[in-house]
Amino acid sequence: MKSFLLGAAAVMCLAAPALAQQPQFSTARINENIRVLSSDAFEGRAPASPAETKTVDHIIKQFQAAGLQPGGDLQADGKRAWTQAVPLALFETAGPVKVTATAGGVTQSWTQGEQIAIRAAQTSAERVTVQNAPIVFVGYGVTAPERNWNDFKGQDLRGKIALVLVNDPDFETGQGDFGGKAMTYYGRWTYKYEEAARQGAVGFIVIHETAPASYGWATVKNSNTNAIFDIIRQDPKAAHAPIEGWLQRDATVDLFRKAGLDFDALKKQAQTRDFRPVELKGVSLSVDYPVKVEKVVSRNVVGLLPGATRPNEHVIFSGHWDHLGVGQPDAKGDRIYNGAIDNASGIASLIELANAFGHGPRPQRSVVFLAVTAEEKGLLGSEYYADHPLYPLATTVAVLNMDSMNMRGTTRDLAPSGDAPATLQDDLVSVAGQQGLRVNPDPKPEAGHFYRSDHFPFVKRGVPALSFGGGVDLAKGGVAAGTAAEAAYVRDRYHQPADEFDPNWDLSGMLQEVGVFYALGRKLADSGEWPVWKQGAEFKAERDKTAAQRK
């Protein structure tokens, strides 16, 4: 909190708003796009559902009206389509998920979504049946040779289910080899499941604790009891263990106690290098449920504005169009996850940017407007694009991604989703500063936001990319009001059916964000600048391989 206040003082002498060249953004159009995309008729915009067609058609119409050209897949006639086909595998539980835990000779049933949330298996098996699998606590489940850290110590996990802590080993101590409170990739649940497959375990079950997960059980439950998607894989078993799930902290503590173990004491041990896996004696887990496996094709929507003088160099604006669809009802019985803020607001912003560029002076470089699918399923639309780029990544200047805009009103700051160790971050700071906005350092590096947005599949492949959103220092009420509003959003709306359109939103903060996206995109699109990774950034080597292609 202190750093925000210091930042505010520093910025007062800098702010020299240069808004003269800013286009007019249409609040009427923004409201209408959010309202339509998040209406019940769009059924929460699940990929490969009937709602996909409505959503994709709506975005294409808006891109056309903005003056964009189709920028998607090349067709037989040599012309581009408006979309990029994204083939995905879809896994759904096809009947009741039966889970029983046996401890000290007593067997109890767990209810899917209550004590436990098991994802539909992504191994291509049509039934998952595990009987009395032994349970091993593996601490944080990390293998990090470069940090001289291995939680497994040679433990054989074949035939066993591992319980694993979320986040990384120094999250709670705040100091250590994993960035202290900041999360490394080792802290992400995606990493834990990747490690489960490498270890040959029957399954990894992540223990849910709100602080290190950075979200509550409702989020875990909704995301994991839904249909699960993956890109199509040659050998799905090499990437996924049969059981991937989450377990409530209370159920975990109870299980440890029945095995004569103290959860909190073992967690402390897991925060040290000397930790060794611990088998829960007399405890086993049985799981049985059918899986429906389907192959589907979803779509990214791609609009293109060719550059005037450097058409083979591309700046990408991106945002995800999908949300969670129709799922478990909330307390009011509402089953439609409308996703108004997440991310109809981002798509409405993408459409505003398309209009500003499409109806403004032609940029020197080409600008791509990319509305990706399946973000909520694990960044799959952006992963697919980055793996099958329509325009070469080597000459992709930067990716600027928007996810969940600020509906809380005017702010004095912006918040990036993690701090990119790249000159692109400096460009953001300078452009925002010209509009009187300071850029806070990531206020919650422990949440691992840098790995959780659609810019990350590009980052992994070396392309400078970032996501940012509105800050918390509200013009009305300051940091206290902003922080409270953010907490209320996470508690009451985030990934819940209550993320609905509100005609009384104050869009002034969102307009600030769109203004910064525009100015940063303009700066990149009208120059020959190539943002670079800074020394020591883990993504620099990948980018440097193609340096000769950038002039």
Closest separation in Å from C-beta 346 to Zn ion = 7
Closest separation in Å from C-beta 441 to Zn ion = 22
Rg (CA), the chain: 24
Closest separation in Å from C-beta 403 to Zn ion = 4
Closest separation in Å from C-beta 211 to Zn ion = 22
Kindly list the distances between the CA atom of residue 190 and the CA atoms of 144, 166, 194, 414, 444, in Å, as whole numbers in the listed order.
15, 10, 6, 27, 19
| 463 contacts 315 by C-beta, under 8 angstroms | no
CB closer to Zn ion out of 343 and 440:
343
CB closer to Zn ion out of 128 and 465:
465
| 520 contacts 400 by C-beta, under 8 angstroms | yes
b/e per residue 405-419 (b: at least 16 CB within 10 A): bbbbbbbbbbbbbbb
- Nearest by Cα to 191 from 138, 227, 155, 125: 138
CB closer to Zn ion out of 43 and 342:
342
Distance CA 39, CA 45 (A): 10
| 424 contacts 465 by C-beta, under 8 angstroms | yes
Q: Which residues bind Zn ion (CB under 5 A)?
A: 342-343, 403
Closest separation in Å from C-beta 132 to Zn ion = 39
Virtual torsion, Cα 448, 209, 98, 238, nearest 10 deg: 30
CB closer to Zn ion out of 139 and 339:
339
Give the amino acid at 522: R
| 349 contacts 319 by C-beta, under 8 angstroms | yes
CB closer to Zn ion out of 112 and 343:
343
Closest separation in Å from C-beta 189 to Zn ion = 16
Q: Give the count of beta carbons closer than 10 Å to the beta carbon of residue 154.
A: 7
In three-state secondary structure terms, 85 is strand
Q: Give the count of beta carbons closer than 10 Å to the beta carbon of residue 491.
A: 12
CB closer to Zn ion out of 18 and 487:
487
Closest separation in Å from C-beta 455 to Zn ion = 12
In three-state secondary structure terms, 196 is helix
- Nearest by Cα to 438 from 479, 483, 389, 485: 479
- Nearest by Cα to 457 from 447, 470, 467: 467
- Nearest by Cα to 56 from 371, 455, 286, 363: 371
CB closer to Zn ion out of 263 and 517:
517
Closest separation in Å from C-beta 339 to Zn ion = 8
- Counting DSSP H helices and E strands in the chain, the numbers are 16, 21
CB closer to Zn ion out of 59 and 165:
59
CB closer to Zn ion out of 172 and 403:
403
CB closer to Zn ion out of 343 and 410:
343
